[in-house]
Every structure is written in C-alpha cells, then in structure tokens.
Homo-oligomer: A and B are copies of this chain.
C-alpha cells in the first residue's frame, strides 16, 4: 500500500471541495479520478501533493502520515494541467530541476542524470531546446520526464492531455501507459474524459460533487455502474424498465437494428459519423438510441420501420 487516504476532507465552502475521501492505492497501480468539471479532482490531487491543507482526514504514504509536510518534502510529484514547465530553462534544465532539489544532486550531476530521462520520453536531441518552441505533445513529455526524474514513487497527473488534439491525445495515452509499464511508477490520473479513464486505468474512481460514487475496474464501471450518474458519465445509455420495475441500462452499441417492414420502431434521426452511424428510433413514447458500427450502419434510412435486438443490458441497483 503506497498511499492511503482516510476520510480526507477539504471544503472551500458549503458546496465546493472534497469530502470523506477514502482510497487505498497499491504500488504500481494506475488509478484514475474521473468526474465532471468542479467535482473536486484537482482538489484531491492538491491535497496529496501538499499544495492544499486538508480540513480533516489523513494522508498516509507507506504508512506514515504526511499531511503536515510541505510539498517539497513529499515523495510525490505532479504533472500539471498545462505542464507548468519553467519557460526560462531549456528541456534538460527543466528535467534536471527536480533531480537537483528533490534528489539533492549538484547542478552539474543533475544535468547529467537528466539526460537519461529525456531519452526515456523520446526527446533525445531536444535537450537544449527552448520550452516555448516545443509542440504540446513534446511539452507534455518534458513534464512527464521532469516528474519521473525526481524518483518520486507516486506521480499525480492532472488532465495532462486535455489541451491536445484528438490524434495526439490517443497517441500520448499509449506512450504514457508504456512509460508507466517501464518505470512501474504508481500514478494517480485526473480526467473528465471517460475514454481516457477507461483505456488507461487499473481502477477508476468516479466522483460527483466532492464525493466518491464508485470505485472499480473499467469494465466494472462501464458494465456495472452503481447508478445512472455513473452510467451516463462513462457512455451513452438507454434506460429501460421491465414489468417488475427493475431498471436496466442498455448501451446504444449493444443493440442491433433488424430490418422488418412494419416493425414497431421508426427511424427518427440518423447521424453519419463515418466509423459509425447513430440512430434514434421511436416507438410511441419510447425512444431508443442505437449505434451501428461501420458499413452496417448503411442499411437504414429515415422513416424506416424496424425492430431491435438487445445484445446486452445491465441491471441498475438504484431506483
């Protein structure tokens, strides 16, 4: 157990902040805090990093309470949302900064040691580059190298990919995972992008308004959401109720459309997105969203009468 948060609470006012946060993180785990803007993700990270003082609760690192230590004394390192790279230092100097102060190397030795990490993130050749001249992706890698170089056992990452375009984001996601695998660093990752959370994490902590709603593996979260909030947040959902009043969620991609003239559903809306086509079917009051993948989506037109086939649905626990 590298990190344990016990009943951690920090409220800015009545409504905003984080309350009764409990989480145990194993060494080498990749944990994602997932939730909408304002739910308290950054607050949690800042509490762990030491930039904020908790109102109550404990932060145990390897069993020791570090709540009262200043940031510079915690074996934790943060990759900030916009990287917070030092604009007056070059790539190598940025990476060396943490080695120098965190690991207490001389300036010279720190610069030497930094080279390895610049190499690790694939930026060899850019050592002397000015931060301002790097692309967003490169900056992100420098930030990562800088944090990893400190040798901190726990890395906190605050939406490190949120300012990049989709293609780069997907690419860097893979790289990040790769680096984690190589360095075996424990990581706590913050995002509001469910794809990022689902694809990267060992476990996901879904948050809402400062509280933890669900903790689980990606598949657990996606297929066994504890309530409709989680279900909605990690993907699109149709909600069904059976005769007994049980509620189910039905993912649009787990439904098939079956060609059936005179079927009870009518195609009301159709949006072509290339890799998939999104349909909205209507049966009186009932509306079902269905996503057909690829060429399969080509077969139907607005106004067609069709039927549906449900491939999978999952029962919700809440009312």
In whole angstroms, how far apart are the Cα atoms of A291 and B253 in the complex? 12
A304 to B222, CA, bound (A): 23
Given A296-B311, A311-B296, check contact A194 B274 (CB 8 Å): yes
What residues on B are CB-neighbors of A302 within 8 Å? none
Residue in chain B with minimal CB distance to A166: B193
Residues of B contacting A275 with CB < 8 Å? 235-236, 251-253, 291
Q: How large is the interface on A (under 10, 10 to 19, 20 to 34, 35 or more residues)?
A: 35 or more
Q: If the complex has contacts A295-B312, A296-B311, are A274 and B198 also in contact, measured as CB distance less than 8 A?
A: yes
Question: A219 vs B166: C-alpha distance in the bound complex, in angstroms?
Answer: 22
- 5 residue pairs bridging A and B, Cβ less than 8 Å apart: A199-B273, A253-B275, A253-B276, A294-B311, A294-B312
Chain A positions within 8 Å of B, measured between CB atoms, are 37, 165-166, 174, 192-195, 198-199, 218-219, 222-223, 234-236, 251-254, 271-276, 291, 293-296, 298, 311-312
Q: Enumerate the 8 nearest inter-chain pairs by beta-carbon distance, A residue then B residue, closest first.
A: A253-B294, A295-B312, A254-B294, A293-B293, A253-B293, A222-B274, A235-B274, A198-B274
